[in-house]
Amino acid sequence: MKVFKILLLLIAGFIPLHSFAQEPIAQDPKKILMEKEIGKIIAKNNARHVIKDSIALYIYNIKLKVSKKGEKIKINRLLMSDPLLYKIIPDHKRLYNIDYKFLLTDRNQVTLIIPIIIANVAERSVSEYDRQKGVPLIPIKSTFRQIDKALTRIASDDKQWDENVVITMPYTIKIE
């Protein structure tokens, strides 16, 4: 019986050593560079000075209509989902300077959507555990993480890079 228990423990301890995991998918370096450049532009934001109310979570997006004529790449349109976003991201015109050529290798136009999540976790925002009729609501930090995860899953599907609509990873701004 003792031998059986020892053997069972050895087998149980050996199983995790032989787990089968997927290798990470190699990402296109041009995609990584594009996302870094977008991140730099969004990081230079005025959210702390522009947002002065108590709403805890904002979700916006920037939509770029990119087209190709011959070898020339052109941004036909840059749209913000809310006019407030123009004030929050004053350097938004720098998005015109990013190289989007790799998105247009086998197509003539693409719509690039950049989701932006702003979490107002500063003291002036709604209490982290606001209550409704005495029942605690979901903590804002937890909600923020869940939305970020959900949007990241949407944007991580490499198949979308073959479509005419491309959604980047979500960019997050925290107001603390």
pLDDT 10s digits, 52-102: 766 667 888 899 999 998 889 999 999 888 888 999 999 999 999 999 998
- Considering the entire predicted model, what is its pTM? 0.69
DSSP 109-136: EEEEEEEEEEEE-STTSS-TT-EETTEE
Output the six-digit token pair for 52: 């002065």
**Rounded alpha-carbon distances, angstroms, from residue 16 to 10, 11, 12, 83:** 11, 9, 8, 52
Measured distance CA(4)–CA(17) in Å, rounded:
21
Measured distance CA(123)–CA(145) in Å, rounded:
19
Query: Percent of the chain scored above 90 by pLDDT?
Result: 24
152 pLDDT band, cuts 50/70/90, is low
Q: Are 97 and 141 in contact (CB under 8 A)?
A: no
Q: Is 25 exposed, middle or buried (0-12, 13-18, 19+ CB in 10 A)?
A: exposed
